[in-house]
Amino acid sequence: MYKVFVKEIPIILSTEKKIGSKYTSIPLKEVKFKKLIEKINNGELLYVNIYHKNEEKLEQFLRKKLPVVEAGGGMVYNNKKEILFIRRNSKWDLPKGKVEEGESYEDAAVRETMEETGVKNLEVRRFIKKTYHIFQRNEKFKLKITYWYEMYSDYDGVLIPEEKEGIKKVKWKNFEKSQKALQDSYENIKLLFPKEYLLTHPNDRIS
């Protein structure tokens, strides 16, 4: 099971027909994806489960329905167990960017993290997961798939936000400050963090 975010609302893709009473479950073969996105954008639909018995078919379906942009990103720790955050579009985020032609996901994650933050001496520890979100560009919907890696750096020099990418701040944040930052971040970023940092369905927090 995984989540594809549309304006912070997750579409669930799973192998299960029933995942909860709140969810509208739709078999993969019956989905009209662009209409589904429009309903979510209009607030007409909040809990959606698209299901198919073969999990691989779910991502194949997405890739056929929408143009795909692939990116690499990094969750960077230092020797104080702080995490490297960026501030962009009035949100706390993690560094990430588009994979260039001929570049591996891991290499893209390292390069983009260095370019966006000025951090050095990056050591990739492990692949974390992929995240998915749908955005609109030139009146067309696109699917961004980001490959995330856990990294470590002993760098304690000056951090430099990449201004041409709209990054306003770069900060190391400890556990408590990371929790606070995640309250002002994106839902797909929250999925990268251990449970003690968060998280519930965004609609469950609407009172």
50 and 117 in a common domain: no
**Tens digit of pLDDT for each residue in 1-34?**
889 999 899 999 999 999 999 999 999 989 888 8
Taking the C-alpha atoms of residue 116 and residue 51, their distance in angstroms, rounded to an integer, is 37
Taking the C-alpha atoms of residue 183 and residue 14, their distance in angstroms, rounded to an integer, is 27
Confidence class for position 199, pLDDT limits 50, 70, 90 = very low
Residue that finishes a domain, picked among 43, 65, 87: 65
Residue that finishes a domain, picked among 65, 86, 118: 65
Taking the C-alpha atoms of residue 46 and residue 130, their distance in angstroms, rounded to an integer, is 22
Task: Over range 171-187, report the average pLDDT.
Answer: 93
Q: Of the candidates 143, 155, 79, which has an alpha carbon nearest to the alpha carbon of residue 117? A: 155
Sign of torsion, CA 94 100 105 107?
A: negative
Taking the C-alpha atoms of residue 132 and residue 152, their distance in angstroms, rounded to an integer, is 24
Are residues 41 and 9 in contact, defined by beta-carbon separation less than 8 angstroms?
Answer: no
Residue that finishes a domain, picked among 16, 39, 65: 65
Answer yes or no: is pLDDT of 201 > 50: no
108 and 22 in a common domain: no
Per the document, the length of the chain is 207
Q: Of the candidates 170, 178, 173, which has an alpha carbon nearest to the alpha carbon of residue 199? A: 178
Unique residue bearing structure tokens 């971040």: 185
130 and 45 in a common domain: no
43 and 107 in a common domain: no
Task: Over range 79-98, report the average pLDDT.
Answer: 97
Name the percent of the chain lying above pLDDT 70. 95
107 and 178 in a common domain: yes
**Tens digit of pLDDT for each residue in 106-145?**
999 999 999 999 999 999 999 999 999 998 888 888 999 9
126 and 36 in a common domain: no
Q: Which domain holds residue 39?
A: 2-65
161 and 201 in a common domain: yes
Number of structural domains (the chain) is 2
